[in-house]
Amino acid sequence: MKFYDRESEMASLEKALEASRSRLVVVVITGRRRVGKTRLVREFFKRNGVKFLDFFVGVKSERLLMEDFSEEIREKLGYSPEFTTFRDLLQYLERISLEAVFLDEFQNVLRINPSMAFELQRFIDRNAEKPLLIVLSGSYLGMMKKLFASRKAPLYGRSSVFMELRPLRPSHVFRMLGDMGVEEAESKVAFYSLFGGVPKYYELLELLGEDEPLELLTRAVEYSTFIVSEGEGLLMDEFGKGYRTYFSILRAIAEGKNRLVEIANALGMKPGSVSKYLEALQDYYGLIEREKPILGGRRSRYVISDPFMNVWFSLIEPQRKNIEAGDIKVFRRFLEGRLEGFLGRAFERTLRDILHELNGKMLTFEEMGPQWGRNYEIDLVAVNREKKEATFIEAKWSRDVDGPREIGKLVAKSQLVPWKGERRYLLVAKGFRRKCDDCITVDELLSHLNP
């Protein structure tokens, strides 16, 4: 698949490469699984003609891992001694001259032999003046933070650049989809609502040749086993034996139990006991978000912020027994009854991402989020406190929207919001039966994006 975006990350890597001509430079790249860390590093080295050793840290014994590393050195350099420990490898690297070393999925050293991290620490400290670029990538944020983020971490303070690779922005995803033959704006938005900005998932379109979400998901669970196990696998890798509690929390949220008390009741736990798990999912792993009414209100709620994890827990996990039994027809009927409703709810978050990218063009705001109270709910409010303006926004995943009527409802709901500044309104839909000045179609919205 073609490589998209990442200009700022490439620029940071170029600066690191230049600095490494005279001293040792360590770059750490983290980010969720499938977001494109490995592709970024290899693409960077390819573009810059850098000869590098490419070490994948698989979960196996240290001795077997060193055999893999020896083979990589033989392929790239023509000769390699045999290593039995990571220390042996590092001592060898100390004696030779090379441009760069890439250790992919480096967090796995914690499962293989945690002392490997301390060996690398000593290598870095001993060779501060050695011209060398070391790039370390890791998919599991919790484990990477154990290695680098706290003062007690073995590699704390050893990285010159610490980069968290974020998902692609909507405009780049839409350009990617266009290159794959997906032309309709609403199809692009639907796919983004399912997969977010994670490039790996879009390879399914190339692999399976489907350009409609219903058909793609149906065929994906039949022919792509990683999709079926993706959600549970990610949690098991991040949380190990304790993943079941996190799994149950995410499933409860996907089922609509998004208040603390509701989640605790679903798990049969006390709210105080659940809070620490919710905080970890939000602050440490970035899988959920705690939403609060943006213009004031006491009650908060939890939502799954990762688009594909939301898809997995909402549409795939409830049907795993049928999928694994090969009963794809039952899964398809399940999708036919639920996919449009799911996309309607997910459209609100997708719209938020698009409007953030359009900030300063269509709208200018400092913050944006949902607003709700006892008797009303508004999808989004874009707030510009400096200008004392608030734009109240509704998202309708429908082609037959009565614009003036829906705007009237939105105006009425906005009067229940404690806001003293100027009020503006925006209604976004797939299409309109009757349009109005404050109405815009998805197609018109996407025309404002410039990737």
Per residue in 353-365, pLDDT tens? 999 999 999 899 9
Q: Are residues 29 and 178 in the same domain?
A: no
- The first and second tokens of residue 67, run together, are 């055999």
Instruction: State which residues form the domain around 159.
Output: 7-164
**The domain boundary residue, chosen from 349, 372, 404:** 349
CA torsion, points 401, 445, 5, 160, in degrees to nearest 10? -90
Helices 328-357 and 170-179: crossing angle in degrees, nearest 10, is: 130
Q: What is the pLDDT of residues 128-163, one digit of tens each?
A: 999 999 999 987 666 777 788 778 888 888 888 999
Residue found under tokens 């890597």: 13
Q: Are residues 338 and 359 in the same domain?
A: no
Q: Classify residue 59: in a domain, yes or no.
A: yes
Claim to verify: residue 177 and residue 305 sit in the same structural domain: yes
AA letter at 352:
R
| This prediction's pTM | 0.90
Domain presence at residue 451? no
Q: How far apart are CA 420 and CA 418, in angstroms?
A: 7
pLDDT beyond 80 at 285: no
Number of domains in the chain: 3
Per-residue pLDDT, averaged over 11-30, amounts to 96
β-strand pairing of 389-396 with 377-384: antiparallel
Beta-carbon contacts of 17 under 8 Å, excluding residues fewer than 6 positions away, are 25, 48, 50, 100, 133
Q: State the Cα–Cα distance between residues 109 and 118, nearest whole angstrom.
A: 10
Contact (CB, 8 A) for 303 and 291: yes
Tokens 């001795």 map to which residue?
A: 63
pLDDT at 29 over 90: yes
Treating both helix axes as pointing N-terminal to C-terminal, what angle do 213-223 and 225-239 enclose, rounded to 10 degrees? 70
Q: What is the pLDDT of residue 451?
A: 54
CATH number at residue 136: 3.40.50.300
| Domain assignment present for 39 | yes
Same domain flag for 199 and 317: yes
| In a domain? residue 46 | yes
Do 291 and 360 have their domain in common?
A: no
243 shares its domain with 319? yes
**Final residue of a structural domain among 104, 136, 164:** 164
Examine the pLDDT at 284 and tell me if it is beyond 90: no
Same domain assignment for residues 126 and 207: no
Same domain? 191 vs 329: yes
The two three-digit tokens of residue 244, written as one number: 């079941």
Same domain for 57 and 112, yes or no, is yes
Query: Residues 264, 402: one domain?
Result: no
Report whether 40 contacts 6 (CB < 8 A).
yes
- The more confidently predicted of residues 149 and 366 is 366
For 291, what's the count of Cα atoms within 13 Å in the CB-facing half-sphere? 22
**Cα dihedral: 279, 280, 281, 286 (round 10):** 100
Query: Looking at this protein, which amino acid is placed at residue 371?
Result: Q
2 within some domain = no
Task: Give me the helices (H) in 256-301, please.
Answer: 260-267, 271-279
Chain segment 305-340, per-residue pLDDT in tens: 999 999 999 999 999 999 989 999 999 999 999 999
Q: β-strands 288-291, 52-56: how paired?
A: unpaired
Torsion angle of C-alpha atoms 418, 305, 315, 273, degrees rounded to 10: -90
Residues 237 and 334 in one domain: yes
Ramachandran quadrant class, 286 (left: phi over 0; alpha: psi -120 to 50; beta: rest) = left
What's the pLDDT tens digit per position in 66-81? 999 999 999 999 999 9
Which of the listed residues 296, 331, 349 is the one where a domain comes to its end? Answer: 349
Distance CA(77)–CA(301), nearest Å, equals: 55
Measure the CA–CA gap between 17 and 26, rounded to whole angstroms: 10
